[in-house]
Structure 1
Amino acid sequence: MTSQADTSQCPVCGNRNACAGSLDCWCAKEKFPKSVFAEIPAELLGKACVCKQCLVRFKQERRGRVVSDTESDSESDGNKAAKPRVATIEGEYKENKGE
């Protein structure tokens, strides 16, 4: 087992994540609920992007919930207005300004 994470693999399923590692990448335009990162093993968190298939699957599994991701994020932040967010390649959040 190697100590360095393979950034080309999804940390959830192990398949290729197709991340370009730039703001032009598909993942820079997606909304990643905070809770999606709970599925990532701690040692891989912030090392590689979740693949699009896992993100879609995760969102589909969560559709049955009453509270949306942006509502739960805004409630935990103490803000009334929901803010769409995207994950950066480091796994952090930034405000999505529609760019």
Structure 2
Amino acid sequence: MDQEKREAICPICARENACNVQGDCWCFHDIVPDSLLALLAAHHIDRRCVCRSCIDCFKSDPEHFKQTYFTR
């Protein structure tokens, strides 16, 4: 998978993140909680956008979100 396609994938759920970094993207206007960013591997920070669905799910129930995506 090339770099551009990887950047279009959410690093958490692996679905499309709908980011348009070349234009006026939704991610420039939404607030991603620092506590959600802290869960990401360092190599994803500022390189791949978390999708809106993951952000909303985290905001509504952070503990359930962590159990779903970060507990193995």
Decide: shared fold, TM above 0.5: yes
Name the amino acid aligned to 1:58.
Answer: F
Backbone CA RMSD of aligned residues = 2.0
TM-score by length of 2: 0.70
Matches for 1:1-99 after TM superposition, within 5 Å: 6-22=6-22, 24-62=24-62
Q: Which segments of 5 or more consecutive residues in structure 2 lack a partner in the other structure? A: 63-72
The secondary structure found in structure 1 opposite 2:7 is: coil
In 2, the alpha carbon distance for the partners of 1:41 and 1:12 equals 10
| Structure 1 residue runs of 4 or more that deviate by more than 3 Å after TM superposition | none
More strand by share: 1
What stretches of structure 1 of length at least 5 have no aligned partner?
A: 63-99
Amino acid at match of 1:7: E
Alpha-carbon distance, 1:23 to partner:
5.8
- Alpha-carbon distance between aligned partners in 1 of 2:45 and 2:13, rounded to the nearest angstrom: 13
TM-score (norm 1): 0.53
In structure 2, how many angstroms separate the alpha carbons of the residues matched to 1:33 and 1:9? 19
Within 2, Cα distance between the matches of 1:13 and 1:34?
Answer: 18
Structure number with greater CO (CA < 8 Å, separation at least 6) is 2
Instruction: Tell me the equivalent position of 1:87.
Output: none
Q: Number of matched residues?
A: 60
Residue 33 of structure 1 aligns with an amino acid whose one-letter code is P
